[in-house]
Amino acid sequence: MTHNTPLSPRPLHDLADVRRRVVRTAQLRAQGLTPADITTRCRPGGPWQQLLPGVHLLHPGPPTSEERLHAVLLYAAREATPGVPAQPGPSHPGPSHSGPSHSGPSHPGASNAPRHVYADAVITGLAALTLHGFTATPPLPSLDHIDVLVPRLRRLRTTGCARVIRTAALPAPETVTGLPVAPVPRALADAVADLADADAVRHLLTEAVRAGHCDPASVVRELTRAKLLNRPHVVDAVDSLIAEGRSLAEDRLYAMVSAYGLPDPVWNVGLRLPGGPHLGGLDAYWPDQAVAIELDTRAPRQTEDTQWSEYARKREHLERLGITVVHITPRKLRDAMEQQAAIVRTALMASADRDPAAYVVVLPR
């Protein structure tokens, strides 16, 4: 038998499933192939190639982006216990039984067991952002490496196109094109950790918020966890991100008042007592009902306890004066606008049952 002798009557180009084109050495061994057989087929000019240690591509020529992604996951994923087939998870269902069955010998990459679950391996970084649909990231074929998260105690090394990032706790992955992919905030943090270009960092963070992938608070939380806020170019990008988030939140607040028929407030004002101190700024205020809205667009940094205390003191002071303050976050405006409108409407209606508020001077901010 030569290395060109087919192992199955089914030609390779008929196998559309990438999991049959990218396989582990163990899968080939399970089909009866010896290490010498595998080595022979992976020689230059042969029909197969080794993409990563223990991971083979069952056709010649460059791998596709999809094949590279699956190869990295196969390399990094924890193998199932011998004799126990991997169980399909909610994002990786088992093979469909609606199609025709095939009898006889199977292709080396095929298996009658449920599809492999990529346990303890999650795509992150720029590759993950591209999969999430970012336009500021390079296309997958141009990436020299693909970042993959694994538990800290896994004994894996970065090699080939797989760059291993160890973490104390894997994030709950999102399923994108059938692959386990880190949520956008975590993928951003892992990508930013490797970027020194201030413009590139700013573009990524801005797109994350502007395109609705996530809110600024979740991004800054991940950057804080990754200890990246000691880098000046990241801090500058975060300041731009917070400004972008506030602008979007204000637009959504205007839209909420209009869409749900709330009475028009006065926008972006400051309050003070007659002849007294300034009471603070508000994003919206209904003077007749003494109801105010304050958007919380603070960056959730560990050092901002003082700022939160100032927010709380201002709110308590206004409420002692009889002013109801509705505290709204950008995420609530994005994900539950109708609910927030109902809260504001209830506060406006309840004003008739409250004692009159203290007289305050309303100033433009």
pLDDT of residue 306: 53
Domain with CATH 3.40.960 in the chain: 261-364
Q: Note whether 48 and 39 are within 8 A (CB).
A: no
Rounded to whole angstroms, what are the CA distances from 298 to 237, 245, 249, 278, 282?
A: 15, 10, 12, 21, 14
d(CA 258, CA 264): 8
pLDDT above 60 for 155: yes
Mean pLDDT of all residues in 151-179:
94
pLDDT of residue 96: 35
Q: What is the pLDDT of residues 225-278, one digit of tens each?
A: 999 999 999 999 988 888 878 888 899 999 999 999 999 999 999 999 998 888
88-112 residues labelled b (16+ CB within 10 A) or e (exposed): ebeebeeeeeeeeeeeeeebbbbbe
DSSP-assigned beta bridge partners for residue 286: 291
Q: Which long-range contacts (CB under 8 A, 24 or more apart) does 39-48 make?
A: 40/3, 41/3, 43/3, 46/3, 46/4, 47/3, 47/4, 47/12
Instruction: Name the token pair of 102.
Output: 């095939």
Comparing 154 with 112, the larger pLDDT belongs to 154
CATH dotted code for 261-364: 3.40.960
Q: How many other C-beta atoms are found inside a 10 Å radius of the C-beta of residue 41? A: 22
122-158 residues labelled b (16+ CB within 10 A) or e (exposed): bbbbbbbbbbbebebbeebeebebbbbbbeeeeebee
- 285 SS3 class: strand
CA 28 to chain centre: 34
Residue carrying the six token digits 């069952």: 58
Residue carrying the six token digits 């080595």: 39
Would you call 201 exposed, middle or buried from its count of C-beta atoms within 10 A (0-12, 13-18, 19+)?
Answer: buried
Q: Note whether 122 and 173 are within 8 A (CB).
A: yes
- Strands 266-272 and 278-286, sheet pairing: antiparallel
pLDDT of residue 158: 96
pLDDT of residue 141: 94
CA 198 to chain centre: 21
Q: Note whether 180 and 100 are within 8 A (CB).
A: no
Rounded to the nearest integer, the mean pLDDT of the chain is: 82
Q: What is the pLDDT of residues 283-313, one digit of tens each?
A: 999 999 999 999 887 655 544 555 556 777 8
DSSP-assigned beta bridge partners for residue 361: 272
Q: What is the pLDDT of residues 310-351, one digit of tens each?
A: 777 888 889 889 999 998 988 888 889 999 999 999 999 998
What phi and psi, each to the nearest 5 degrees, are found at residue 286? -110, 100
Rounded to whole angstroms, what are the CA distances from 88 to 54, 122, 167?
A: 22, 16, 24
Helices (H) and strands (E) in the chain, counts: 12, 13
Measured N-to-C along each axis, helices 198-210 and 216-225 cross at an angle, to the nearest 10 degrees, of 140
